[in-house]
Amino acid sequence: DTGVSQDPRHKITKRGQNVTFRCDPISEHNRLYWYRQTLGQGPEFLTYFQNEAQLEKSRLLSDRFSAERPKGSFSTLEIQRTEQGDSAMYLCASSLKGVSHNSPLHFGNGTRLTVT
């Protein structure tokens, strides 16, 4: 069990540029989640996948955001035309099935995005 891995750890970009983050969940986990965490706040749900299907998107996820999990394994989160308000830590998490008492979320280290 190598855990949930995210790449890159840090990303600095200029406003207006596109960025893409990658998440590799724990291998046997079929559910994958993206959360966003801003300074002084707890993580906020963005979207989740069951296998390759994206089943829910938060209203926080504007049209500039898109997430994919094409083969039901790794996932990418792309932000187009970045804005300074997009600066945050983007956390990926996975679980074996539906999150429950016995199937908690396992988080990655996150990707810290800074938009200048």
Partner 1 sequence: AQTVTQSQPEMSVQEAETVTLSCTYDTSESDYYLFWYKQPPSRQMILVIRQEAYKQQNATENRFSVNFQKAAKSFSLKISDSQLGDAAMYFCAYLRKSGGSNYKLTFGKGTLLTVNP
In the region spanning residues 56 to 115, those forming contacts with partner 1, defined by CB under 8 A, are 56, 91, 93, 98-101, 104-110
Minimal distance in Å, beta carbon 73 to partner 1? 19
Q: How far apart are CA 113 and CA 12, in angstroms?
A: 6
Minimum CB–partner distance for residue 15 and partner 1 (Å): 25
CA distances in angstroms from 49 to 40, 69, 94, listed in the order given: 27, 7, 9
Helix (H) or strand (E) holding 51, with range, is none
Q: Does 52 bind partner 1 (CB under 8 A)?
A: no
30 binds partner 1 (CB under 8 A): no
Query: Of the two residues 10 and 81, which places its CB atom closer to partner 1 in the complex?
Result: 10
Helix/strand/coil for 19 = strand
Place of tokens 């008492």: 101
48 binds partner 1 (CB under 8 A): yes
Q: How many angstroms separate the CA atoms of 53 and 75, rounded?
A: 11
**Alpha carbon separation from 54 to 34, 41, 69 (Å, rounded):** 11, 25, 8
Q: How far is the CB of 112 from partner 1 (least distance, A)?
A: 9
Give the one residue of 11, 29, 31, 69 binding partner 1; rule: CB under 8 A. Answer: 31
Query: Residues interacting with partner 1, by CB under 8 A?
Result: 3-4, 31, 33, 40-45, 48, 55-56, 91, 93, 98-101, 104-110
